[in-house]
Amino acid sequence: MTLRLKPLEDQTIVIMGASSGIGLATAQKAAERGAQVVLVSRNGEALDKICEDIRRNGGRADYVVADVGVREQVRNVVDTVVERYGGFDTWINNAGVGTYATLSEISDEDHEKVFRTNYWGVVYGSTEALTHLRQRGGALITTGSISSDIPAPILGAYTATKHAVKGFINSLRLELAHENAPVSVTLIKPSGIHSPFGHHARNYMDRASKVPPPVYSPCTVANAMLHAAEHPTRELVIGGSGASLIGMVRLLPRMADLLLEKMFFLTAVDRNRPPRESQALHHHGDGGSVFGDQEGYMLKTSAYTEAAKHPKAALAVGVAVAVGLLALRQQRSGHRAQLM
């Protein structure tokens, strides 16, 4: 079956976790391109203001308040959008929370909440949205992470949820293919993003948390989301740096362990700043901001991701990266043999 998705200007798009960061950037860009957007988050006050701003700029925007970790509230989002607009064409699972804590110190309550939002939010969002998408057709897009494929100390609970999300989405895709459902299933895997994630995350450290660099603009993820809303796409990694780390973990796991251990313990903390007062794990954050507050350079585009949007170019890039990493692995093996 050849699946065709509508142009954005003909779509109604539901975006979970849309009050800040990637979700907000996606809503703004989709509205600019003519889509009817429905924003969802726990913060109704922020959503109301965001929708006013979008409408003031000529866009079409509405919102529904919901906690993605509660199935009944997610089901209400589906029912409300169907009632107001007759349905939707793209559903984006994007809500996410995190903690900066080692796995031995994080509380069970916080650990469970991260899973409740990041994993169960995707389960509830996907299964409830599919009650409509199976009949209408469309795109189911989920924000995973490069953490779906690599380990990450200090962000271990978050990383575990993203591994779980990858397993769920990839399995769901096969089940939908088996039943010939007219739904495109996409997993978006961002590298570090300059969003308010660190501002909202629960922080156990004695200094401010930080997204390990290099960090990319949330707009790079938003553009990938909207590409997948129009073009059936299996998976997209956002950022060449993240793609390189994934390749290293697969081909040079011991070297990757050494690198990631040093990198996260050095770069996930901003030793020049005290911890932020605002944390939004068990309650909604302030909302309304696309970008985070950490200092440092932000990459506004990704040549790797732009190439990956086109299958033939993505294959060529993937082969080049794999060949390079394989050559490095063989070189290291040869060096060890000479030392023996």
- Are residue 34 and residue 116 in the same domain, yes or no? yes
- Residue 101: exposed, middle, or buried by beta-carbon count in 10 A (0-12, 13-18, 19+)? buried
Name the β-bridge partners of 38: 14, 62
The percent of residues in the chain predicted with pLDDT above 70, rounded, is 89
Torsion of CA 242, 119, 286, 211, to 10 degrees: -20
313 pLDDT exceeds 80? no
CATH number of the domain encompassing residue 52: 3.40.50.720
- Are residue 327 and residue 206 in the same domain, yes or no? no
Q: What is the DSSP letter of 310?
A: S
Residue 119 falls inside a structural domain: yes
Q: How many CB atoms lie within 10 A of CB 105?
A: 10
pLDDT at 339: 47
124 in catalytic set: no
**Against a cut of 0.85, is the pTM above it?**
yes
Q: CA 144 to CA 166: how far, in whole Å?
A: 7
pLDDT at 279: 67
Residue 92 falls inside a structural domain: yes
Residue 17 falls inside a structural domain: yes
- Are residue 338 and residue 302 in the same domain, yes or no? no
Kindly state the tokens that stand for 129: 């949205």
287 pLDDT exceeds 80? no
Q: Tell me: the pLDDT tens digits for 315-328?
A: 555 566 556 556 65
Q: How many CB atoms lie within 10 A of CB 281?
A: 17
Q: With cut-offs at 50, 70 and 90, classify the pLDDT of residue 281.
A: confident
- Are residue 318 and residue 249 in the same domain, yes or no? no
Residue 4 falls inside a structural domain: no
- Are residue 167 and residue 296 in the same domain, yes or no? yes
- Name 56's Cβ contacts closer than 8 Å, sequence gap at least 6: none
28 pLDDT exceeds 70? yes
CB 265 within 8 A of CB 153: yes
Domain range for residue 320? Answer: 310-340
pLDDT at 18: 96
Q: CA 180 to CA 176: how far, in whole Å?
A: 6
Weakest mean pLDDT among 12-26, 38-52, 135-149, 304-318: 304-318
Weakest mean pLDDT among 6-20, 144-158, 201-215, 320-334: 320-334
At residue 156's C-alpha, the angle toward residues 43 and 283, to 5°, is 15
- What total of structural domains would you count in the chain? 2
- Are residue 201 and residue 326 in the same domain, yes or no? no
CB 317 within 8 A of CB 303: no
Q: CA 326 to CA 264: how far, in whole Å?
A: 25
pLDDT at 118: 97
pLDDT at 329: 58
Amino acid at 218: P
Residue 2 falls inside a structural domain: no
pLDDT at 310: 81
Q: Which of 158, 204, 297, 304 is catalytic?
A: 158
Kindly state the tokens that stand for 33: 């391109």
The count of C-alpha atoms lying within 13 angstroms of the C-alpha of 321, restricted to the half-sphere facing its C-beta, is: 21
The count of C-alpha atoms lying within 13 angstroms of the C-alpha of 130, restricted to the half-sphere facing its C-beta, is: 19
CB 79 within 8 A of CB 130: no
pLDDT at 183: 98
Q: CA 284 to CA 81: how far, in whole Å?
A: 22
Residue 3 falls inside a structural domain: no
Kindly state the tokens that stand for 45: 């006050």
Arithmetic mean of pLDDT over the chain? 91
